[in-house]
Amino acid sequence: QFPFGRRLPCDIYWHGVSFHDNDIFSGQVNKFPGMTEMVRKITLSRAVRTMQDLFPLEYNFYPRSWILPEEFPLFVAEVRMMKDSDPSWKPTFIVKPDGGCQGDGIYLIKDPSDIRLTGSFQSRPAVVQEYICKPLLVDKLKFDIRLYVLLKSLEPLEIYVAKDGLSRFCTEPYQEPTLKNLHQVFMHLTNYSLNIHSGNFVHSDNVNTGSKRTFSSVLGRLSSRGADVKKLWSDIISLVIKTIIALTPELKVYYQSDIPAGKPGPTCFQILGFDILLMKNLKPMLLEVNANPSMRIEHEQELSPGVFENVPSPVDEEVKVAVIRDTLRLVDPQKKKRKDV
């Protein structure tokens, strides 16, 4: 750890937040320049939209989204048009502030005219997105998947998907959105940081139960229900690859500007956190990409009112230690040398 700057060159640099050190001339850095900007909600939506316009069927894994405030008139017009052509369509929309995380500032609305929307978006850019009303449920609960993806190289594109991830569960049984339950975050939002505050959150030592489980344990459950888990994995992998392809052109621009070809500089790799929601029919939908996914393997426990202690979280440990270990193995410079020989 070098809190006050570094002196000697290293083989691998592990930056905490983003690519920021322009004094690195060799080795490998664990962040790509521009990645944080590229995966913000608005930029990601824009990049995926470009691909949706070109390849609508290939990119149907991302909910229809509009960027606020600039696309508000388009949002109103398109929703009106869709409602006119299909009066039985009763959509719900989710509004997510740009740059927000951990469910911060997110809310659901039934109609573009909702006062919460018209009142707030002027001050804070956001993405408004079609809400997926029929998610796959396990134990009557909505859950999402956090998958860890290693972007090992941009050119050539090299992507590794960790075989296990986390499933984060809501803490109230799911009901399809109605005006009455729209505000119930423990029913609709799967964020750990929100659900931890629900009295129903279950920390578990056993990876198969509780409010945070391994994705492999959920796959086991689905497989025993007869789900085609192989197809699901292949759909997830194709979602990951297509999403990275959508980000690649601009990432290359950032890369060339920070690390120009021909000048000494490091190469980059990065662990990304993909948040994915499964629909009832098992189709995976991309919710968002995290450039700096949490690698914490502990959680806080309240020993007595107001007194907290960090305790190990076996589920996080099982998944995240493997992700870091395998990443280091994949970028190990000694291994590359051996391979070249």
Could you say which of 44, 67, 68, 94 contacts ligand ADP (CB under 6 A)?
94
- What DSSP letter does each residue of 50-93 carry, written as one string? HHHHH-TTTTTTS--EEEETTTHHHHHHHHHHHHHH-TT----E
Q: Running DSSP on this structure, what letter comes out for residue 27?
A: S
Q: Which is nearer to ligand ADP, 48 or 132 (CB)?
A: 132
Could you say which of 22, 102, 178, 310 contacts ligand ADP (CB under 6 A)?
102
**Of residues 21, 328, 15, 313, the one with CA closest to residue 168:** 313
Q: Does 165 bind ligand ADP (CB under 6 A)?
A: no
Q: Which is nearer to ligand ADP, 27 or 100 (CB)?
A: 100
Counts for the chain of helices (H) and strands (E), in that order: 10, 16
Could you say which of 36, 43, 190, 214 contacts ligand ADP (CB under 6 A)?
190
Q: Does 293 bind ligand ADP (CB under 6 A)?
A: no
Residues 119-138 touching ligand ADP, rule: CB under 6 A, are 129, 131-132
Q: Does 191 bind ligand ADP (CB under 6 A)?
A: yes
Residues 249-278 touching ligand ADP, rule: CB under 6 A, are 275, 277
Q: Does 106 bind ligand ADP (CB under 6 A)?
A: yes
Q: Running DSSP on this structure, what letter comes out for residue 199?
A: T
* Element spanning 304, H or E: strand 298-304
Three-state SS at 268: strand
Could you say which of 67, 287, 291, 323 contacts ligand ADP (CB under 6 A)?
287
Count of residues engaged in binding ligand ADP, rule: CB under 6 A = 20
- What DSSP letter does each residue of 208-236 carry, written as one string? TSSSEEEHHHHHHHHHHTT--HHHHHHHH
How far is CA 79 from its chain centroid?
A: 26
Applying CB under 6 A, the residues found at the interface with ligand ADP are 63, 94, 96, 100-104, 106, 129, 131-132, 144, 189-191, 275, 277, 287-288
